[in-house]
Amino acid sequence: MLRGEHLAWQFDERDPVIHPPEYPDYVEPGTPRWRRWWLALLVLWGAQAGLLLSLWPEGRPRLELWLWSAVLPLAWLLVLSLRMLVWQVGLINRDAYRNTLEQARQRWWRRRSAALPVDQVLLLGPAGDVQAYYLGFMAARPVPQPETDANGSRLRCQLARMGGEDRCVRLGRHLGRQALALPGRAERWPRLRGLAWVGNAGSEAAFVEALAAGGVTLPETRWRMGSLDELDALIDTFPKVCGQKEDGLLCAGVVSREQAGEGEVPGEAGFLWVVKRGRALGLHRGEYLLPEKNEAASDLCQQMQRYGGLAEAPDCLALDAASMAAFAEGGWSANQHQLAEYWGALGELAPFVGMSLAAVQVAESGKPCGWLGKDETGRLAMGVVVSHGG
């Protein structure tokens, strides 16, 4: 992040629960056992009648005897009424408790199902900065094969390779210039409220300087976005920061890897989102798969479908083989769109490239698109982008 040139935004009021809350059910109030109550009445009333008849003095009016005989049934009816009152109060409390829990669950789902409204998407990758190339991943169009370095080992953007400047800085500057060339900038960028950046401070500074050179001065508000948790915070904060329809944000980042894990090829990429209220694409929260907490991939897939309001699993793309295999049991198959060999290892940028690719496909087809990937620490993640029309 830029030092001494921006106001660091503090996220608060985060919801630490990332899975549907589970509450204990209300103890079901016991239903009166009517047979026992009637049996008790018959037994006690019979015993009372026998006792009264055996002890009743001769000559006393029989009407008084019958009045005394009615005492026990009346007492039984009073006790039964109290028992039924307790039962009905318990039922009312149970229904109120369950209704309160259901409202809490619905509030949780509404909050977790919130999406970032994305207006425009820009990608840099092995095919360079020609955006039409990145539409071919989910369509029957050929995709240009990535170029590698002299050793044939690195997936590099087809950008300028001369000079000793840090490649992340060059990527950041190029991403800024490409952002300035997006169509409708005057209409779509009237009131930018800040920048959320994925990457190092040098690349962020180069991006901001490139925008400034083109006449776009960003506010000093900056957000750090290096994980799905920080994206969560941005989604929650967006309505507060961008309170008016004209307000918007830029979310962007670049990465240039020099090394990768065993069996992986270092990759290089960049992305940019123009985020604005009321736009057609809804980028929903991503979630990590947590097998250490006995979490099943199928359950997480169902949760993600509910985020997007989907009745079935969407078409998916995967940025690595591990995520593709992990989520297959939930019906999220990316067998035809496994892109690891094309993009390589992207570290912390991988989930955001996955989201960007999914957003590009949704903008093209109008159909929801899921993304599968892993972050820099190897945590498997998934998410979905949907079209809201418009």
- Is residue 301 predicted with pLDDT exceeding 70? yes
What is the rounded average pLDDT of the residues 79-92?
Answer: 82
- Is residue 14 predicted with pLDDT exceeding 50? no
Q: Which among 82-91, 158-167, 193-202, 277-286 has the top mean pLDDT?
A: 193-202
- pLDDT of 359 reads 93
- pLDDT of 305 reads 94
User: Of 110, 125, 146, which residue constitutes the final position of a domain?
Assistant: 110
Number of domains in the chain: 2
Asked if residue 42 is part of any domain, the answer here is yes
What is the rounded average pLDDT of the residues 173-180?
Answer: 94
Contact 208, 176 (CB under 8 A): yes
Is there a single domain that holds both residue 295 and residue 150? yes
Contact 134, 362 (CB under 8 A): no
Pairing of strands 115-124, 369-374: unpaired
Residue 82 tokens, joined: 């109290």
Is there a single domain that holds both residue 106 and residue 225? no
Contact 93, 26 (CB under 8 A): yes
Is there a single domain that holds both residue 82 and residue 231? no
Is there a single domain that holds both residue 324 and residue 361? yes
Is there a single domain that holds both residue 91 and residue 185? no
Q: Please name the helix (run of DSSP H) or strand (run of DSSP E) that holds residue 2, with its range, or none.
A: none
Q: Please name the helix (run of DSSP H) or strand (run of DSSP E) that holds residue 321, with its range, or none.
A: helix 321-326
Is there a single domain that holds both residue 336 and residue 374? yes
Is there a single domain that holds both residue 104 and residue 117? no
Q: Which among 270-274, 280-284, 321-325 has the top mean pLDDT?
A: 270-274
Q: Please name the helix (run of DSSP H) or strand (run of DSSP E) that holds residue 46, with its range, or none.
A: helix 34-55
For the segment 308-360, what is each residue's pLDDT rounded down to a tens digit? 999 999 999 988 888 888 898 888 987 777 787 788 888 899 999 999 999 99
Nearest CA to 4 out of 220, 175, 235, 281 is that of 220
Asked if residue 196 is part of any domain, the answer here is yes
Contact 258, 235 (CB under 8 A): no
Asked if residue 274 is part of any domain, the answer here is yes
Is there a single domain that holds both residue 144 and residue 101? no
Pairing of strands 221-224, 191-198: parallel
Asked if residue 24 is part of any domain, the answer here is no
> Identity (one letter) of the amino acid at 304?
M
Q: Work out the widest C-alpha separation in the chain, in whole angstroms.
A: 128
Contact 318, 339 (CB under 8 A): yes
Place 375 in a pLDDT band, splitting at 50, 70 and 90: confident
- Total residue count of the chain as it appears in this document: 390
- pLDDT of 53 reads 56
Q: What is the mean pLDDT of the chain?
A: 81
Q: Which domain holds residue 85?
A: 34-110
Which of the 8 DSSP states describes residue 329? G
Ramachandran sector of residue 120 (left: φ over 0; alpha: ψ -120 to 50; beta: rest): beta
- Is residue 106 predicted with pLDDT exceeding 60? yes
- pLDDT of 29 reads 76
- Is residue 6 predicted with pLDDT exceeding 50? no
Is there a single domain that holds both residue 148 and residue 120? yes
Asked if residue 7 is part of any domain, the answer here is no
- Is residue 36 predicted with pLDDT exceeding 80? no
- Is residue 33 predicted with pLDDT exceeding 90? no
Place 69 in a pLDDT band, splitting at 50, 70 and 90: low
Of 168 and 337, the structure prediction assigns the larger pLDDT to 168
Q: Which among 27-36, 76-85, 144-153, 284-293 has the top mean pLDDT?
A: 284-293
What proportion of the chain, given as a percentage, has pLDDT over 90?
Answer: 34
List phi, psi (to 5°) of 227.
-155, 170
Of 54 and 258, the structure prediction assigns the larger pLDDT to 258
Nearest CA to 203 out of 162, 155, 255 is that of 255
User: Of 82, 110, 138, which residue constitutes the final position of a domain?
Assistant: 110
Asked if residue 38 is part of any domain, the answer here is yes
User: Of 73, 94, 110, which residue constitutes the final position of a domain?
Assistant: 110
Residue 62 tokens, joined: 């029989």
3-state secondary structure of 122: strand
For the segment 209-240, what is each residue's pLDDT rounded down to a tens digit? 999 999 998 998 999 998 999 999 999 999 99
Is there a single domain that holds both residue 323 and residue 358? yes
CB contact set of 327 (below 8 Å; sequence gap of 6+): 289, 297, 300, 301, 316, 334, 372, 380, 382
> Identity (one letter) of the amino acid at 53?
L
- pLDDT of 341 reads 78
- pLDDT of 150 reads 58
Asked if residue 371 is part of any domain, the answer here is yes
Is there a single domain that holds both residue 58 and residue 125? no
For the chain, give me the number of helices (H) and strands (E)? 11, 11
Is there a single domain that holds both residue 180 and residue 329? yes
CATH number for the domain spanning 302: value is 3.40.47.10
- How far, in Å, CA of 145 to CA of 126, rounded? 8
Asked if residue 131 is part of any domain, the answer here is yes
